[in-house]
Amino acid sequence: MEFSDLVDVTMVDPILKEYTVEQARSARETLDILVREELNAGSNVFYANGKTARNALAKGDKPTVDDFRKIALALKRAHVKPATDGKYVAFITPEVAFDLMDDPKFLKAYEIAQNAKPLIKGEIADVYGIKFIEIINAKVFEGEGADGVDVHSSIVLGQKPYGITKIKGNGDVQTIIKALGSAGTADPLNQRQTIGWKVNAFAVKRLYEEAIIRYESVPSNA
């Protein structure tokens, strides 16, 4: 990202500081998406409403608590240990969360557990042995359902399902700022300064296929 030299003398706000924060957010989201894509490439798939393929999912095939309970049961039958605190973890889109909150079984379990104070950021509930975590950039297969509807992916995880590899000193996000005058003859009037980020080494890989289940549905408000 490039800035004029006038940023330092004409702007009241600390532009470079603010964009450093934005660059950090962009880096986190980019790495999150790399992990998301790897998890969504898994072979274990469960479709809403008993459907057998993504292109068969249509309006009305919305996410339900019963489907998530069946997924948890499948994980137990496969001897997959829970991800954390004796619970499996489900990463869901806001639209899936919206429908689940209208599900009577979800509401009943939520009220009984009285777990209105989530333990981790984004957790909307801990019911039926599953921690439900709302993720803004969760995967959506746009237009891939019947009649071109969007299909939402929910990822349910057991213990140690994937791994992330970094090379020490190269796997961390690096914010790089080039000050005025650093470009030499390429910027003879010292008019340009830049800020950016990079990661030299980052890799994510599914390690335990049985511990990753992708649940596809069509939320009512998608």
Domain boundaries defined on the chain? 2-23+167-201, 45-161+206-217
Quick one: pLDDT band at residue 10, thresholds 50, 70, 90?
Answer: very low
Please report the pLDDT score of residue 12 as a whole number. 45
Please report the pLDDT score of residue 31 as a whole number. 85
Report the alpha-carbon distance of residue 47 to residue 13 in Å, rounded: 49
Which CA distances in Å does 82 have to 48, 70, 74?
22, 15, 12
Asked if 153 and 215 touch (Cβ cutoff 8 Å), the reply is yes
Tens of pLDDT along 166-208? 777 665 677 777 776 677 677 766 667 777 777 777 889 999 9
Report the alpha-carbon distance of residue 73 to residue 61 in Å, rounded: 20
Question: What single string gives the DSSP state of each residue in 119-138?
Answer: SSTTEEEEETTEEEEE-TT-
Report the alpha-carbon distance of residue 219 to residue 152 in Å, rounded: 7
- The average confidence (pLDDT) of the chain is 83
Neighbour tally for 108: CB within 10 Å: 12
Tens of pLDDT along 72-116? 999 999 999 999 889 999 999 999 999 998 888 887 776 666 555
